[in-house]
Amino acid sequence: MTERPDLSSLPSYRQPRRSLLVARKLALMASVVAGLGVAVYGFSPSTSPSDLFSSPAHAQVNTEVRKVERPIGFADIVERVKPSVISVKVNIKEKAASNDDGDDSPFQPGSPMERFFRRFGGQDGIPGMRGPRGGGRAVTGQGSGFFISADGFAVTNNHVVDGADKVEVTTDDGKTYSAKVIGTDQRTDLALIKVEGGSNFSFAKLSDGKPRIGDWVLAVGNPFGLGGTVTAGIVSASGRDIGNGPYDDFIQIDAPVNKGNSGGPAFNTDGEVMGVNTAIYSPSGGSVGIAFSIPAATVKSVVAQLKDKGSVSRGWIGVQIQPVTSDIADSLGMKKAEGALVAEPQANGPAAKAGIESGDVITSVNGESVKDARELARTIGGMAPGATVKLNVLHKGQDKVVNLTLGQLPNTVEAKADTDNDNSKAPTRGTDVPKLGMTVAPANSVAGAGKDGVVVTEVDPKSAAAESGFKEGDVILEVAGKSVSTAGDVRDAINAARTDNKNSVLMRVKSGGQSRFVAVPLAKG
């Protein structure tokens, strides 16, 4: 029997314990790798440690991870909704000379904000691409729109088709059709057109829900005349007022929109139209990430009337209103700055006939609270003429209920200005109103000021009156709810307000034919 040699004396000899440790490490590594892969691919006991690292399972696991991390796109939604979007091309004669730059600002010409807010229907949809100039010569304009029914009814902006002699639309598949304008609504900047020559158009659904801030939004349209283009962003704000009118309630989005996008839809991730793109905020005319869309709820209401009768009828109560600021609320003894303050009821209007007076605050309509003046305008404007409404009104510190029948909002409501406003005769010096920084004189002593109230003849530019917006020529009709005709009346009313520990005093002021309430802070002492 051969004797076993002593291996410990050999240079290559290693202790069995170390070999055991190496084996345990390999087993541990194998178990970790197996743990990573067994959930998907399983682990075979016959697999050797070296097989684990050469196996394709490790690479396949990484592939699966990459699939999970990949951002989710909008291709499926776009493929479904894009065929409903159209390019709208118009031929306009009247605007060749008057709308040379293609921008239709919601602000008055010369307004400091005019250059920042732009609508983007645009002649040819591309700056510099204009038709021949001169009266009677035609120019073209381009915008966007979308079908709302298979038989060819489509929505776009009023300012896209306003004054158009000819309207053509191009569908997503490149086909061109003639269209006619069914009706327009300037106040909401919406228009309904009817495409002729088809009866099976792809159409979009107007959303029933209200978008939330942060929701995804897809804008589809015809920017710069390039054809169907899709951009994405989020809803960045809601209830925006851009000074376009009393019915402003825009959705603000940051999806890039530009000239030619006007009238195009803003889709949510359900493929429904949440709004109609109508304006952008831009110093340059291009997208800076702030755009405004008309909410789907407004579109539904307006389009239904346009389709039915070609125009929109709105309820009207006949009042000039303004917001209730915190200073005004304090002057009226209100706990919260909410509701709509009646600056002046219009003569023979529904409100005047029902007994509503200047200085009243309308706090609710049919039991629904009124947040501010804009909300009142939208609520009443959304009702049909002839409807009976119940208004809760704060009248001289007391709550009362007024029932009235809505009239129909006139197509043009013009402010009545004094016709005898003659500034050829310089106003008298007037009498100082202490601690307000202005002088006043009886209105009947100043040419063109009328018979009622006191006229402001001078304003200290560093005074409380100047900070509150008073200027020379304004007529103060009431102070703290009391009619005034002399400087003494003004001083008495102010002293009474101080005695009542008021922080400000409410004045009804007539300026440029318009009445408004101004809360003037009272200096202490």
Active site residues: 159, 189, 262
Residue type present at position 49: P
Q: How far apart are CA 517 and CA 78, in angstroms?
A: 50
Q: Classify residue 194 as exposed, middle or buried by CB count within 10 Å of its CB (0-12, 13-18, 19+).
A: middle
What is residue 339's three-state secondary structure? coil
DSSP string, 423-442: -SSPPP--EEETTTTEEEEE
Residue 314, CA atoms < 13 Å, CB-side half-sphere? 25
Q: Do 254 and 236 touch, CB atoms closer than 8 A?
A: yes
> Which whole-number Å values give the CA distances from 295 to 162, 237, 241, 244, 267, in the listed order?
21, 12, 13, 15, 11
Q: How far apart are CA 14 and CA 363, in angstroms?
A: 94
Residue 190's DSSP bridge partners are 185
Residues of the chain by 3-state class (helix, strand, coil), percent to 5? 25, 30, 45
End-to-end CA distance of the chain: 125
Neighbours of 12 (CB within 10 A): 5
Q: What is the DSSP letter of 117?
A: E
CA 453 to chain centre: 39
Residue 294, CA atoms < 13 Å, CB-side half-sphere? 32
H helical segments located in 217-368: 296-309, 326-332, 350-353
- Residues 516, 368, 381, 195, CA torsion sign: positive
Q: How far apart are CA 38 and CA 32, in angstroms?
A: 10
Q: How far apart are CA 182 and CA 306, in angstroms?
A: 7
Instruction: Calculate Rg over the CA atoms of the chain.
Output: 35
Token pair belonging to 31? 């178990």
Q: How far apart are CA 124 and CA 139, in angstroms?
A: 8
